[in-house]
Amino acid sequence: MADADKDYTTWNLTPLFNSDDDPRIDDEKELILQNAYKFINKWKDRTDYLQEPVVLKEALDEYEEWDRKWGTSGDQGYYFGLRRSQEQDNAQLKAVTNKIKDMSIKIANDIQFFTIRLAKIPEDKQKEFLEYEPLSPYKHYLETLFAEARYILSEDEEKILNLVGPTSYSNWVRMVSEFMSKEEREVLDEDGRRAVKNFSEIQSLLSSRNKRVRDEAAKVFNAVLEKHSDSAEAEMNSILEFKKVNDNLRGIERPDFPRHLGDDIDSEVVDSMLDAVSSRFDLAHRFYELKAKLFKVPKLAYHERNVPYGEVEEKYSWEDAAGLVNKVFANLDYEFGKIFSELVDTGRFDVYPKKGKSGGAYCTSGSTKQPVYVLLNHTDKLKDVLTLAHEAGHAVNDYMVNRSQNELSAGTPLSTAEVASTFMEDFVFKELLKEADDGSRLVLMVDKLNDDISTIARQTAAYRFEQVLHTTFREKGYLSKENIGTLFRDKMNAYMGEFVEQSPGSENWWVYWGHFRRFFYVYSYANGLLISKSLQNSVKQDPVFINKVKVFLSAGSADSPKNIFKKMGIDITDRSFWNSGLDEIERLLVETEALARKLKKIS
């Protein structure tokens, strides 16, 4: 890795441009427009690519090259997007990105004829194209295009739905969200003083280590939800109706099918995962029983599920964190360590918090020819090590996809987007456990289980709520807030068990849960983490299995997840696959229970 005395903690953006005023930016803009309209003008009046496979191959080769080299915004769209993350309050950067966005939208609108017309060709012609061997590099791209086209309406019908979408869906969602975001209440702060806090700040106090603080925050939080529950009832019924009408017009019977189609995942795979997790909700029950015992209470209040247990004081500098992650990655596979070192040594991490910098953490990779970059806000805490491992996992995944796939087969579908990140994060977590004393180990293990249960069991319960919500709405035609609350509480109780109270007011927690407005999105959290756990289990049993993991990490969107895993000898429609991931969680739970007894924290 890099020398410690060199500054590798701020993004090196010179592979894109030397500065915000680089004269190459204007030159590139001309080339972006030139190359986009070169393609558009060549193909917009032609239909032979819709008839002849050899012509389609020529067209797709040119389309892929355009998308890879230029796209709708080139290097400048990527560069200034990254710069905005570094300086969010820079008005000049905002103005530049808005201009680039305008150019990008115009190009996207003008070039979309190509994929729209291709998607709508007759089925016999689709079959011919899919069987034409020279088109094999684009086979799955075409398969997904054709699959989605079956549910596309006429251009006029699609236009109408797009026009009524804001009034039937997005305006409702924004209204309720904005109502709550404007709420402010006086609550007890962490320092013991009374202070006025906004809704998101009140929400963060729900997991305070101070019981008085969290209990008062919960009381206020529930009051805000109750205040807006009538509006949320109207909102939810409106968007459920809009969804039902949309599905009926497209001939879609299963409410969650459009999500699966868009995420390139088979419904039978999602069903298998949901069934496996639901059948083992006892793991969540046992965890909350353990947590209640650790907190020495008969039951956890609903809002206390995520209260941290204990604290690890150890600090991890950036150098310490990067060194640890590099060691773990290299131990897993030499190539993982090599990629991570290259990313560190070439300035792909923006490490420390700065005024105006975007919060949180993310990994982004632009096109296959553009560098991978990672944004962090490292504060020397243990959680920052795991955040680095998580985002570096994404980075390794993107790096391997970008060098292996064409532009139309790059990227990772939502259904598997979190596999690489959680895979790497969990191996780093295990390394941290090795270095910790028993007291710190218990804190780390409880925290990890809390995250895993929230990601897998809770999100599965949330998905089950969505399923029954849509089904019941379609049977009854309207649901009162009490109806919705009963359905919600039933599904939450199913995964939480008897050691978590369904406290008064908790029946309204659907009111603020934004994911329920992004229909059936939540499965992806459980799906990605459980695939990761199952792969971890396989690597533990046979370290050579890491070579199959590398095949997956390089696959991108070249095939469906089901087929990618099938080629690896894994059937992800089989519940035993998902159970192997759940077994990983059970092993950690058993170990945590035993350690808590050893330390006499529970009897």
Alpha carbon separation from 445 to 38, 204, 235, 438, 584 (Å, rounded): 57, 22, 40, 10, 13
pLDDT of residue 355: 92
pLDDT of residue 163: 85
Length of the chain, in residues: 603
| Structure-token pair, residue 477 | 């035609």
Q: Is the pLDDT of residue 204 over 50?
A: yes
DSSP output for 210-225: SHHHHHHHHHHHHHHH
Q: Whole-angstrom Cα distance, residue 11 to residue 241?
A: 46
CATH superfamily of 251-312+454-539+550-603: Oligoendopeptidase f, C-terminal domain (1.10.1370.20)
Q: Whole-angstrom Cα distance, residue 519 to residue 577?
A: 26
Fold of 24-150: Butyryl-CoA Dehydrogenase, subunit A; domain 3 (1.20.140)
Region 16-43: mean pLDDT is 98
Instruction: Between 89 and 31, name the one with better pLDDT.
Output: 31
Q: What is the mean pLDDT of the chain?
A: 95
Region 89-100: mean pLDDT is 95
* Three-class DSSP category at 323: helix
Region 550-574: mean pLDDT is 94
Fold of 183-227: Helix Hairpins (1.10.287)
Q: Is the pLDDT of residue 426 over 90?
A: yes
| Residues 6+ away with beta carbon under 8 Å from 598 | 438
Query: How far from the centroid of its chain's Cα atoms is residue 327's Cα?
Result: 26
| Structure-token pair, residue 332 | 């897993």
**Model confidence pLDDT, tens digit, residues 99-124:** 999 999 999 989 999 999 999 999 99
Q: Is the pLDDT of residue 159 over 90?
A: no
Q: Which residues of 267-298 are buried (b: 16+ CB within 10 A; e: fewer)?
A: eebbebbbebbbebbebbbbbbbbbbbbeeee
- Tell me which H or E stretch contains 426: helix 419-435
- Give the residue from 255, 228, 105 showing the smallest Cα distance to 173: 228
pLDDT of residue 63: 99
pLDDT of residue 158: 86
Q: Whole-angstrom Cα distance, residue 122 to residue 89?
A: 50
pLDDT of residue 449: 98
pLDDT of residue 5: 46
Whether 324 and 316 have beta carbons less than 8 Å apart is answered as yes
pLDDT of residue 14: 97
Q: Whole-angstrom Cα distance, residue 508 to residue 397?
A: 39
Q: Is the pLDDT of residue 7 over 70?
A: no
* Three-class DSSP category at 533: helix
Q: Is the pLDDT of residue 471 over 60?
A: yes
Region 523-547: mean pLDDT is 95
Q: Is the pLDDT of residue 50 over 60?
A: yes
pLDDT of residue 165: 85
Instruction: Write down the domain spans for the chain.
Output: 24-150, 183-227, 251-312+454-539+550-603, 313-435
Whether 527 and 565 have beta carbons less than 8 Å apart is answered as no
**Model confidence pLDDT, tens digit, residues 261-305:** 999 999 999 999 999 999 999 999 999 999 999 999 999 999 999
Q: Whole-angstrom Cα distance, residue 128 to residue 147?
A: 15
Q: Is the pLDDT of residue 42 over 80?
A: yes
Whether 268 and 578 have beta carbons less than 8 Å apart is answered as no
Q: Is the pLDDT of residue 1 over 80?
A: no
pLDDT-derived band at 154 (thresholds 50, 70, 90) equals: confident
- Give the residue from 389, 277, 372 showing the smallest Cα distance to 323: 389
pLDDT-derived band at 25 (thresholds 50, 70, 90) equals: very high
Domain 313-435 has CATH 3.40.390: yes
Q: Is 598 exposed, middle or buried (0-12, 13-18, 19+ CB in 10 A)?
A: exposed
Region 558-586: mean pLDDT is 94
Query: How far from the centroid of its chain's Cα atoms is residue 239's Cα?
Result: 23
Q: What is the pTM of this model?
A: 0.93
Q: Is the pLDDT of residue 171 over 70?
A: yes
Q: Is the pLDDT of residue 360 over 80?
A: yes
Tell me the chain's radius of gyration from C-alpha atoms.
Answer: 25
pLDDT of residue 216: 96
